[in-house]
Amino acid sequence: MLPTNAYATHGPKEKLVPFSFDRRDPRPHDVVIEIMYCGVCHSDLHQARDEWGGSIYPMVPGHEIVGRVTRVGQEVKKFKAGDLAGVGVLIDSCRKCKPCLDGLENYCVEGMTGTYNAYERDGKSLAQGGYSTQIVTDENYVLHVSEKLDLKAVAPLLCAGITTYSPLRYVGVGPGMKVGVIGLGGLGHMGLKFAVSFGAEVSLITTSASKEADARRLGAHHVVLSTDKAMMKKYDSYFDVLLNTLSANHSYTTYLKLLGLNGTMINVGLPTAAGEVQPFALLKNRRSIMGSGVGGIKETQEMLDYCAEKNIVADVEVIPMQQINEAYERMLKSDVRYRFVIDLKSLK
Ligand code: NAP
Ligand code: ZN
Ligand code: ZN
């Protein structure tokens, strides 16, 4: 057994507190990773507080993990001790359904195994996430991380990065397209960087006027304040694609109105309540609305390699583990520029 230090929550209304547990000894296909940095995703907060229902405690959140391999099982082919490695939102899947065989393990028919707040495929071992000093994961679900990039700023790519990269690629974002990114948080700022890098005309649609200068620095061509009715009217029927990253409950119709003919709103945000969608707002301009969940392992590797080539990383604020509860409160106030990342040295 591998004794591991962590922070965990023991219930929906509890704060995160120090916690220790044992990781399994590596099996033949396992990689042991000493975690250096772990990003703080809004999904961590949703699950820690049981906002989606069904949370399992004690819970060590964290699914934007980067670190160095310390040991590998005897059958491991892809990694060796000393390599940089990353673990994202999933650590296993059935490996035999069509989506799994097509590299879309995130859409596994039996359901993917989450990095935390999930039981492993044996149905009884509780998976624990990256707010911890080490993780043991099957090599097939571990990513290669380039030595070229700033590691603390790479961590958020493992969730915020792939969650925005994947649907923007799927809908074919590129030159000549008008893309609106809704919300400038962890996901939003990565979506904005990717859409700019793919050559689209990109706008930020935000509730925070104070984020305008940052949005322009990140490459936004326009900034639309969603609380300003006149401005929202100006962009009526304007966009080809909207990337909706909002974590809070809201009316979808408000934003659907911004889509032009055949426009698509991609929903990646996961608020707790059902959002309101007016049928007439969908009918106009033959609009559609779709969802997207993270990305498969193959595409996550493709995204990481793309980021290494184009020098794309997250804008991060590094915190020690001990500040996680304050970080959650700031995230709720949309006060993060633009991703908190935990330095796990603080737990050693
Ligand atoms: P985040 O960093 O907290 O960003 C959310 C942004 O939403 C905020 O920065 C803010 O942007 C906007 N916002 C917050 N409250 C709002 C309100 N009341 N009204 C309007 N806008 C509001 O969160 P995140 O980590 O990017 O995650 C965003 C959502 O995506 C979460 O629900 C998360 O669970 C989900 N998620 C989904 C997937 C997936 O696979 N689909 C993966 C990861 C995360 P402005 O200040 O610019 O308005
Ligand atoms: Zn996430
Ligand atoms: Zn499967």
Q: How many CA atoms are closer than 13 Å to the CA of 155, on its beta-carbon side?
A: 30
Instruction: Indicate which residue's Cα is closest to atom 7 of ligand 1.
Output: 246
Q: What is the pLDDT of residues 233-246, one digit of tens each?
A: 999 999 999 999 99
Query: Is the backbone of residue 62 left (phi > 0), alpha (psi -120 to 50) or beta?
Result: left
Give, to the nearest 10 degrees, the angle between helix 160-170 and helix 297-310: 100
Q: What is the pLDDT of residues 92-149, one digit of tens each?
A: 999 999 999 999 999 999 999 999 999 999 999 999 999 999 999 999 999 999 999 9
Q: What percent of the chain has pLDDT over 90?
A: 99
CA distance 264 to 171: 8
Inter-residue contact 64 to 41 (CB < 8 Å): yes
Q: With helix as H, strand as E and coil as C, how does the chain read?
A: CEEEEEEEECCCCCCCEEEEEEECCCCCCEEEEEEEEEECCHHHHHHHCCCCCCCCCCECCCCCEEEEEEEECCCCCCCCCCCEEEECCEEECCCCCHHHHCCCHHHCCCCCEECCCEECCCCCCEECCCCECEEEEEHHHCEECCCCCCHHHHHHHHCHHHHHHHHHHHCCCCCCCEEEEECCCHHHHHHHHHHHHCCCEEEEEECCHHHHHHHHHCCCCEEEECCCHHHHHHCCCCEEEEEECCCCCCEHHHHHCCEEEEEEEEECCCCCCCCECCHHHHHHHHCEEEECCCCCHHHHHHHHHHHHHHCCCCCEEEEEHHHHHHHHHHHHCCCCCCEEEEEHHHHC
From the CA of 334, how far away is ligand 1's center (Å)? 8
pLDDT at 283 over 90: yes
Ligand 1 near 266 CB (within 6 A): no
pLDDT at 274 over 90: no
pLDDT at 348 over 90: no
Inter-residue contact 100 to 113 (CB < 8 Å): no
Question: Who's near 267: CB < 8 A, 6+ residues apart?
Answer: 244, 252, 289, 290, 291, 292
Ligand 1 near 294 CB (within 6 A): yes
Average pLDDT for 280-293: 98
Ligand 1 near 33 CB (within 6 A): no
Ligand 1 near 270 CB (within 6 A): yes
Which ligand 1 atom is nearest residue 208's CA? 46
Which ligand 1 atom is nearest residue 249's CA? 18
Average pLDDT for 172-179: 98
Residues with CB under 5 A from ligand 2 (ion): 41, 43, 159
CA distance 17 to 31: 27
Q: What is the pLDDT of residues 38-73, one digit of tens each?
A: 999 999 999 999 999 999 999 999 999 999 999 999
Q: Which of 42, 49, 50, 300 to mutate to test the pocket of ligand 1 (most atoms within 8 A of CB)?
A: 42
From the CA of 141, how far away is ligand 3's center (Å)? 13
What's the mean per-residue pLDDT of the chain? Answer: 97
From the CA of 299, how far away is ligand 3's center (Å)? 16
Domains of the chain in start order, with CATH, are 2-159+315-347 (3.90.180.10), 161-291 (3.40.50.720)
**How far apart, in Å, are the Cα atoms of 308 and each of 55, 82, 89, 110, 153?**
35, 19, 20, 33, 12
Structure tokens at 168: 């923007």
pLDDT at 230 over 90: yes
Strand-pairing partners, residue 2, are: 23
Burial class (CB in 10 A: 0-12, 13-18, 19+), 332: middle
Which ligand 1 atom is nearest residue 246's CA? 7
Looking at residue 131, what is its pLDDT?
98
Ligand 1 near 187 CB (within 6 A): yes
Residues with CB under 5 A from ligand 3 (ion): 93-94, 97, 100, 108
Ligand 1 near 224 CB (within 6 A): no
Q: What is the pLDDT of residues 180-210, one digit of tens each?
A: 999 999 999 999 999 999 999 999 999 999 9
Ligand 1 near 184 CB (within 6 A): yes
Q: Which of 214, 227, 246, 341 to mutate to test the pocket of ligand 1 (most atoms within 8 A of CB)?
A: 246
CA distance 246 to 272: 11
At residue 9 the predicted structure's pLDDT band, cuts being 50, 70 and 90, is very high
Ligand 1 near 254 CB (within 6 A): no
